[in-house]
């Protein structure tokens, strides 16, 4: 009789199917995971880039910025009409949060980059005027014909006259921006310089986030854009104010109820105790006290006595008489003791 021995064969890793092996990613899959694939060019964020950009602070957490920029649009519509003597319409395209470095690399050139300083906040912001608006403002201020688009001359630096005219525009916008912030917090925006190269317009670190407001200005057939970039570090002094949901909000506080409660508290009766003296006696002696028993205290007639509200010392007073009644004249106020943590 022949015995058959059955042996168990250990599979070779090379013979295993690809689904069971440790899978190795190719370059396209790595790019897609990191967010550098083809989808990145379409404005969508994928993979790790989505996690990185999630650290950005959403401007919607500062809802009062909408009120500020809406007010700015109304003010600019009036002031630019006075500046250009033309029918000017200003509209707010959108407000977003961007990283400063990413925005600096996305500025379409040629453009004028105005660096301004918030005096009270001791920090800076940036205003970008695109080439279309530059030539439109120059054409309007120098008497260009209405109904015709401004003539653009690309490939050359801006002249001194063009720069001065844009400085007038920047001053007008900054004055309106100061007026837009006045109901929240008085601030003065002052223009420091104008740059045409984004490399010389760095006002904060490239990875810092900021609020970007894009404004569109239409003057008949002429139009252009102004972009205002304010880093969150600049807005930090007024961050609590910008967190309000509407103008004058007090975070749930009701001024009418507060006034009523204050008035009622001032009319509340408070029991004030005058401590003529304190002493310690044995319990046996206390039980033997009768009507007429004498208790000797260490307080002298000229000593100040303590006056308490409940168990809390409030005043030191001098005892005496007035109009046949026992009275106390308050001499000192006792500071409340802070409880030890």
Summarize pLDDT for 6-44 with one digit per residue, the tens. 444 545 555 555 454 566 777 777 777 666 655 444 545
Whether residue 109 is predicted with pLDDT greater than 90 in this model: the reply is no
Instruction: Please compute the mean of the pLDDT values over residues 42-52 and round it to a whole number.
Output: 55
pLDDT of residue 126: 92
- Give percent of the chain above pLDDT 70: 77
Summarize pLDDT for 116-147 with one digit per residue, the tens. 998 888 888 999 998 888 888 888 888 776 65
pLDDT of residue 228: 92
Whether residue 250 is predicted with pLDDT greater than 70 in this model: the reply is no
pLDDT of residue 128: 92
Whether residue 294 is predicted with pLDDT greater than 50 in this model: the reply is yes
As a whole number, the mean pLDDT across the chain is 79
pLDDT of residue 43: 46
Q: What is the DSSP string of 166-229?
A: HHHHHHHHHHHHHHHHTTT----EEEEEEESSGGG---S-TT-EEEEEEEEEEETTEEEEEEEE
**Taking the domains of the chain in order of start, what are their residue ranges?**
59-242, 271-277+300-335
Fold of 59-242: Chemotaxis protein chec (3.40.1550)
pTM for this entry: 0.57
Q: Cα–Cα distance between 205 and 60 in angstroms, integer?
A: 22
């Amino acid at each position: 009789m022949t015995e058959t021995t059955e042996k168990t064969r250990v599979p070779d890793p090379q013979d295993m199917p690809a689904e069971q092996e440790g899978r190795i990613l190719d370059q396209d899959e790595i790019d897609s995971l990191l967010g550098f694939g083809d989808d990145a060019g379409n404005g969508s964020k994928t993979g790790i880039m989505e996690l990185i950009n999630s650290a950005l602070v959403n401007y919607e957490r500062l809802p009062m910025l909408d009120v500020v920029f809406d007010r700015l649009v109304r003010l600019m519509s009036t002031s630019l009409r006075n500046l250009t003597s033309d029918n000017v319409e200003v509209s707010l395209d959108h407000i977003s949060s961007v990283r400063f470095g990413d925005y600096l690399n996305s500025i379409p050139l040629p453009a004028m980059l105005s660096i301004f300083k918030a005096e009270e906040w001791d920090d800076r912001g940036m205003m970008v005027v695109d080439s279309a608006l530059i030539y439109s403002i120059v054409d309007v201020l120098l008497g260009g014909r209405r109904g015709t688009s401004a003539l653009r001359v690309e490939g050359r630096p801006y002249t001194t006259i063009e720069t001065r005219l844009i400085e007038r525009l920047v001053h007008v916008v900054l004055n309106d921006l100061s007026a837009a912030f006045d109901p929240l917090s008085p601030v003065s925006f002052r223009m420091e310089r104008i740059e045409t190269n984004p490399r010389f317009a760095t006002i904060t670190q490239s990875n810092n986030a900021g609020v970007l407001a894009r404004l569109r200005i239409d003057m008949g057939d002429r139009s252009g854009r102004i972009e205002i970039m304010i880093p969150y570090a600049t807005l930090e002094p007024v961050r609590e104010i910008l967190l309000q949901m509407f103008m004058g909000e007090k975070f749930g506080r009701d001024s009418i109820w507060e006034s009523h409660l204050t008035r009622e508290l001032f009319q509340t009766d408070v029991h004030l105790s005058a401590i003529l003296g304190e002493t310690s006696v044995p319990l046996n002696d206390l039980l033997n006290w009768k009507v007429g028993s004498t208790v000797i205290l260490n307080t002298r007639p000229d000593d100040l006595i303590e006056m308490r509200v409940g168990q809390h010392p409030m005043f030191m007073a001098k005892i005496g008489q007035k109009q046949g009644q026992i009275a106390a004249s308050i001499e000192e106020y006792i500071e409340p003791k802070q409880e030890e943590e």
